[in-house]
Structure 1
């Protein structure tokens, strides 16, 4: 099961790059770093911890 890599911050609607910095909770709520910092790294939806979203490896070229 893969994480849903959401493309926009749920709070301010800023675009988040596929491998750009973002914060995510265990329910996959996704926020940009400035919004996460404003919320003290706590998800407003579930109260869980917001942690750095993992980045996916680039597809191999070849």
Structure 2
């Protein structure tokens, strides 16, 4: 038995909430296609803050890992 992934206009839809600000310093704008760190609860941090936190989320104690990037629009 498989699962189906939602599609919008032929492209997979990102299920994660892609927040645009670091939750620690709030001054860094996180680009959707730029580097950021995220935990399993979708807390988002800039790389500098994630490194300062030892890659541990201060909210849940989970691991901060590289956030997936959005798919680039394909022109055709």
Shorter-normalised TM range? over 0.9
- Structure 1 segments unaligned to the other structure (5+ residues): none
**In the comparison of the two structures, how many residue pairs are matched?**
62
Structure number with greater CO (CA < 8 Å, separation at least 6) is 1
Relative to the length of structure 2, the TM-score reads 0.78
Q: RMSD in angstroms over aligned alpha carbons? A: 1.0
Give every structure 1 segment of 4 or more consecutive aligned residues whose post-TM-superposition deviation is greater than 3 Å: none
Structure number, greater radius of gyration: 2
In structure 2, the gaps of 5 or more residues are: 1-13
TM-score (norm 1): 0.94
